[in-house]
Every structure is written in structure tokens, then in C-alpha cells.
Amino acid sequence: MQIPFLLSLFTILLGYFLKRIGVLNADHSGVLSKIVMNVTFPALILGSVTKSRITSELFILPWIPVIAAIVGLGAGLYLFRALPQDRKGLMLMSTMGLNLGLFAFPILQGIYGDLGVQVGALIDIGNAIAIFGISYMVGERYSPASENHKRGFWGTLKVFGRSIPLLCYLFALLLNFIGWSLPGFFLSWLNVLSAANQFLVLLVLGLVLSFGWRKHLKSGLVSLLILRYSIGIVLGILVWNFLPADEVVRKIVFMCLILPAGFTVVPYSIEFAYDRDSAGAVVNMTLIISFFLMWGLAVFL
């Protein structure tokens, strides 16, 4: 059980080392992330979800990150009520959203194989609603530059329509539901593409990894971290005890609920004129904390 985490850790450290010696830099992570989110990750989804057996009780999974986002927003509105509006907006955006595509999938795939990908894919459908819908609208609401960012309902639908991973989720689930399978040659080609996903994701994590977040600890981020992980752990305990699914599925869902903040916090902070450095600190701190929390859950739960 510990081997996939050790392999992941060493690959992340490889990316960080290559950045430190100048072979790669943080800017390369943007290009690699686009390859992951538009090529290797969709190939992984299509190759795994179309051939999986999805039972009726699993269709509750997309609602779990939406519920987590709503709970986080409600608690955040109370906890951060005294903060300036721009700071409050960043904190509220950061309470919701899970980093599945660029963090969880290589770990879940390494431990649980296709089942980890299938469960993560269902959760990520609701996660897309939380990130592209709720989180974006909250960021827009409190932005000091909100008058320049009126996306509206149709603009939000366009964002969903341009999300290649989300479209692949829906297409793969449709094929699964009607009982169709992809041609053998096409599945073999998808396997070639998806084989690169695990390495590329972990390499990207190493390139974006930074330890400059310590100076932000006194700026309210500790309260945010406590809130995120408290919600994740409490919901995880409820899922573990009450979700009508196999033990392995419940364990995967629990691990997903303590994932890092999504990378979208950083581009959203730029778009809405929030503090980009604080947003980057949120991402980096949660990457480190979540990695070791997931490791602990996988070993001891």
C-alpha cells in the first residue's frame, strides 16, 4: 500500500529537483498541464470508465463535492465575515473544489487501478460544478474588479462545454449506460496515451511545488486550512459509515474529500484581482498536507 505513495513522492521530488537545477522551470508546468488535461487525462477516463461496472449507488458520488462546496461556503461566510471583501472572496473560493485531475488520479490509479479512476471520475463531475460554477461565481461576487467579469449563466455553460475532461466523463458514462464499448484498437491507443498521465501529473506537481508559503501563515490561511480539512474529514467519516457502497469505494471517497485545493484558485485570483501569491500558497500548502493525509488514510483506514 505504501509503494504507490513512495513512487509518487519520488517522482514529485524529481520534478522539483529538475526545477532547482534549471533543466525545467515552473512555466513548463503550464504546457504539461494542458497536455494532461486535454490528452492523457481524457484518454485515461475514456479507457477506464467505458469498461467499468457502475452500480446505481455510485450515482450519489457527483453530489458529494457539491455538498462539500456548499457547506464550505456557508461556514466560510461566517468564519471570514470580518475580513475585507477581496480577502474574503479569496478565502471563500479556496474553501471549495478538489484537485482530482492534477493530483488524485495518479495516486488512486496506483493504489486501486481502474476502480480508483472510475470512482474519482464520478466525484469529479460534481467537482466541476463546484469549481467552474460555485467557486467562480463566489470569486466574481467579491472581486474588486467584478464589473469586468460578468460571465452569466450562458457564459458558465460555455465553460462547461469547453472542458474536455468533463465532456469525456459524460461521453464515457453514456457509453457505459447504454452498454456500448469502444473498438479494441481505439482502446489500445487510449492506453498508450493514458500511460503517460501518471508521470506527467506528478512531474507537474514537482514543478509547481514551492516552500515560499510560510510567510502567508499569519494572513488567515491557517483558518482556511482548518476549515477545509475539518469539512473533508467530517464528511469523510459520514461517507465511511453511511455510504451504501463497498469498503474500497468508501475509502476512495474519503481520500478524495481531503484533496488539495484546485489549481483554478490561482487563475481565478488573477482574473478577479485577488492576491495571487496567497492563492499559490493555498495550493502549495494543501498539496503537501493532502499528500500525507491520503497516505495515512490508505495505510491505517
Q: Please check whether residue 259 is in contact with residue 115, taking contact to mean a CB–CB distance below 8 angstroms.
A: no
The residue among 100, 96, 98, 99 whose CA lies nearest residue 69 is 96
Give the number of other CB atoms < 10 A from CB of residue 212.
Answer: 10
Give the model confidence (pLDDT) of 1-19 as tens digits: 678 888 999 999 999 999 9
- In degrees rounded to 5, what are phi and psi of residue 196? -85, -10
- Report pLDDT digits (tens) over 154-199: 776 777 777 888 888 889 888 888 888 888 899 999 999 999 998 9
End-to-end CA distance of the chain: 11
Work out the angle at residue 247's Cα, subtended by the Cα atoms of residues 243 and 248, and round it to the nearest 5 degrees: 115
pTM: 0.87
Q: What contacts 24+ positions apart, CB below 8 Å, involve 78-87?
A: 79/223, 79/227, 80/220, 80/223, 83/220, 85/142, 85/144, 86/142, 86/143, 86/144, 86/273, 86/274, 86/275, 87/220, 87/275
CA 236 to chain CA mean position, Å: 16
**How is 46-107 classified by DSSP, letter by letter?**
HHHHTTS---GGGGGTTHHHHHHHHHHHHHHHHHTTTS-HHHHHHHHHHTS---IIIIIHHH
- Write down the number of H helices and E strands in the chain: 16, 0
What is the per-residue pLDDT for 51? 74
pLDDT score recorded for residue 154: 72
pLDDT by residue, tens only, the chain of 301 residues: 678 888 999 999 999 999 999 999 888 988 998 899 899 999 998 988 877 777 777 889 999 999 999 999 999 999 999 888 888 999 999 999 999 988 998 899 889 988 898 899 899 989 988 988 889 888 888 888 765 556 666 776 777 777 888 888 889 888 888 888 888 899 999 999 999 998 999 999 898 888 776 666 666 788 999 999 999 999 999 999 999 999 999 999 999 999 999 888 888 888 888 887 888 888 888 999 999 999 999 888 8
Whole-angstrom distance, CA of residue 232 vs CA of residue 234: 6
Contacts of 188 (CB under 8 A, 6+ apart): none
CB distance 104 to 258 below 8 Å: no
CATH number for the domain whose boundaries are 2-300 = 1.20.1530.20
Domain ranges of the chain: 2-300
Q: Of 131, 117, 128, which is closest to residue 176 (Cα–Cα)?
A: 117
**Structure confidence at residue 147 (pLDDT):** 59
Percentage helix, strand, coil for the chain under 3-state DSSP, each rounded to 5 = 80, 0, 20
Rounded Cα gap, residues 269 and 278, in angstroms: 9
